[in-house]
Structure 1
Amino acid sequence: MAHTTNHPVQQESMSGKKAAIFLVIFLIIAAAGLSYVKWWPYYQKTILAATTHSIGPSILGEHASSTPSWHAAWSYAIAYFNSVWKAAVLGILLGSLIQVLLPAHWLLKVLGKTSFGSTAIAGLAAVPGMMCTCCAAPMAVGLRKKNVSVGASLAFWLGNPTINPATLIFMTFVLSWKFTLIRLFFGLILTFGVSYLANRFAKDTKPLDMEQVISHSEENQPTGSFLTRWAKALGMMLLYIVPAYILSVLLLGFVSVWLFPNLSGAAAVGILAVIGFAITGMLFVIPTAAEIPIIQTLMSFGLGGGPAAALLVTLPAISLPSLLIVGRSFPKKVLLFVASSVVVLGILSGLAGMLIL
């Protein structure tokens, strides 16, 4: 009898050890990948920003032509993917590994609630990631596959680009501390406030029985060997992410001359420019920290502080490609709320910029 009673306990202990091992493996892979793709390169870029007050030319170039062309689209896509491909590969890799390595019961206990606590933990977990919105999107997809709450998944996705500490440091050296404060203030609102409120737009906002949710989630986990489950998760991500990603980047490169017109005089400093660039920034796609040289270049051509501040918040936050990547993972009402919130916060940021920049 004693042996029969202890058997489930032994099984639970073995399961707990296995989950801990998988968690450690995931953290090692994530840390190694981020060290190679983000942390070490950003350390070098910090030195560059501090000594030269620049982190390189604008990815948009000089926009000599005012007519869209597929040559411009291709050129932008090449420049963009040359900049992000390593981070994009890492994002897809980690997004697939989240689904097969991270224990569902642990994730749901920490990030499965619609409370502000789950949102806050996910937002803080995003800080060391420092991914751009498109590279963080596959990880948000992976979290949603594990039934992590809408608010927590969004906070992780939005927090990666908007409260990126490296970008804030670059910004201080290249632009000014005023830009940094504006970005941090509105980035925190977006990461923690908008993400938390987005829970209300999900289908079920009532308190859940977490034990029941965890049990249901574990019962519905994919079966088979680790390699089989990982190959399936990775294959699904590649199938749904890569084609839409490439095509939308090409499309935005094609229309970029319309999205970033050469403004001068009153048109470059007014409220209409703030609104226009808030919408543009929400749609357009850039690599991590590319908003800094874009703003630096546009301001050298006469763009005012208000429109520049609008781009400061909206350019990195989300984009059309990243919205397409996460489109199957979040309710449409949630994504509409997030996109609208980014534009509104961009306009408010622009108004703040008109006053203090």
Structure 2
Amino acid sequence: MSQLNNSLSIPANQSNPKKTVSFAVLFIIIAAAGLWYVKWFPYYNKAILAATTHSIGSSILGDKANLQGVSWSGAWAYAVIYFTAVWKAAILGILLGSLLQVLLPANWLLKVLGKTSFGSTAIAGLAAIPGMMCTCCAAPMAVGLRKKNVSVGASLAFWLGNPTINPATLIFMTFVLSWKFTLLRLIFGIILTFGVSFLANRFAPNVKSADIDKMIEKVEIEVSGSFITRWIKSIGSMILYIVPAYVLSILLMGAIKVWLFPHIGEDAANSLITVIGFAITGMLFVIPTAAEIPIIQTFMSFGLGGGPAAALLITLPSISLPSLIIVARSFPKRVLFFTAGSVVVLGILSGIVGMFIL
């Protein structure tokens, strides 16, 4: 067993570059295999479904009857539906979030993503595109990046980019809703992923290039343990912290969904006050990947206007109360308040545009 631990240990001083590269390649292979199984292949089939039927399924919120009355049975029913949809991606998110802490060299991440420059933010945002995770499933990876001292802007861009500029969701949206929804989502998603994330660096402690160099030097001289030991510690701490808060917050969202999505009368179906209300609601509520599409489709069949629908288009997938709870220890509180506020503001702006073009 000691020989196994020694063979799997990763020297922090990077004295064995071949081993360093091999562990990085291993992470890429695991990530690609997991994403192919959980995301890429299923979404290929779903894209065909969207193109042929102009639907990707029913709304996770159900019909009007499911949005009446607060009960814990309703909370449990929503939690079951939600976790049935996301459990594979949630496991993959926790797995990748823990593995990137032990397989990817810290000095590599610091050099590329440790700076507060727009370049680091842009690279992280672009790296999020193949992930296509929902906000809660991407959150453990953002936590892992922050534990490796990746900058606030880069970590946020990766977290926000997964759900908001998800190419599969954009394809589904075009077939099911319309190209106007897709264009709105893409424009505001880019602003959120790259613009808001970059600006969020201003709400975090300033990290200069000299500080990055010192962190790299510290990493290079620190003695690390074996891969197995560090990975068990990493994934164990993630599970202990993330899973209980995640489950409880999902139950809470399921219980209060009737308050978050009240019945809207015909007069308020496309009003500014409804846009604002739904922007806030969408920021708080939690959904699986692409679930905003059937939700919007169903609500509009009830008579909801284009403005509130466009607000939900941005705010529903971007973040949620559960995902904010998951990353709460990894980002400064000011950064999270700024991010949540920015999501609401962009949702309102999208809703205002949607009032006129949708």
TM-score over 0.5 for the pair: yes
Contact kept, 8 Å, 2:13 with 2:220, in 1: the verdict is no
**Residue type of the alignment partner of 1:273:** T
Within-5 A mapping of 1:289-300:
289-300=290-301
Task: Please report how far the alpha carbon of residue 12 of structure 1 lies from its aligned counterpart in structure 2 after TM superposition.
Answer: 7.3
Identify the residue that residue 252 of structure 2 maps to in structure 1. 251
2:161 to 149, 155, 159: 159
C-alpha distance in structure 2 between counterparts of 1:148 and 1:13, whole Å? 19
Bigger mean CA offset, 262-271 vs 191-200: 262-271
Task: Please report how far the alpha carbon of residue 205 of structure 1 lies from its aligned counterpart in structure 2 after TM superposition.
Answer: 4.6
Identify the residue that residue 355 of structure 1 maps to in structure 2. 356
Identify the residue that residue 40 of structure 1 maps to in structure 2. 41
- State the Cα deviation string for residues 142-180 of structure 1 (Å, max 9, x = none): 000000000000000000000000000000000000000
Contact kept, 8 Å, 1:146 with 1:217, in 2: the verdict is no
Identify the residue that residue 68 of structure 1 maps to in structure 2. 70
Bigger mean CA offset, 203-212 vs 32-41: 203-212
Task: Please report how far the alpha carbon of residue 130 of structure 1 lies from its aligned counterpart in structure 2 after TM superposition.
Answer: 0.1
Identify the residue that residue 148 of structure 1 maps to in structure 2. 150
Within-5 A mapping of 1:40-189:
40-64=41-65, 66-189=68-191
**Residue type of the alignment partner of 1:139:** M
C-alpha distance in structure 2 between counterparts of 1:135 and 1:13, whole Å? 31
Contact kept, 8 Å, 2:69 with 2:258, in 1: the verdict is yes
Identify the residue that residue 4 of structure 1 maps to in structure 2. none
C-alpha distance in structure 2 between counterparts of 1:311 and 1:66, whole Å? 20
Gaps of 5+ in 1: 1-10
Q: CA 1:227–1:304 in 2, change beyond 3 Å: closer, same or farther? A: same
Identify the residue that residue 4 of structure 2 maps to in structure 1. none
Task: Please report how far the alpha carbon of residue 258 of structure 1 lies from its aligned counterpart in structure 2 after TM superposition.
Answer: 1.0
- Identity rate, percent: 75
- State the Cα deviation string for residues 228-274 of structure 1 (Å, max 9, x = none): 10000000000110000000000000000111112121211100100
Identify the residue that residue 269 of structure 1 maps to in structure 2. 270
Cα root mean square deviation, aligned: 1.3
Residue 344 of structure 2 is aligned to residue 337 of structure 1: no
Identify the residue that residue 325 of structure 2 maps to in structure 1. 324
Contact kept, 8 Å, 2:170 with 2:182, in 1: the verdict is yes
Identify the residue that residue 197 of structure 1 maps to in structure 2. 199
SS at match of 1:59: coil
> Which portions of structure 1, spanning 4 or more consecutive aligned residues, are displaced by more than 3 angstroms?
11-14, 205-209, 217-221
- State the Cα deviation string for residues 270-294 of structure 1 (Å, max 9, x = none): 0010000000000000000000000
C-alpha distance in structure 2 between counterparts of 1:69 and 1:250, whole Å? 10
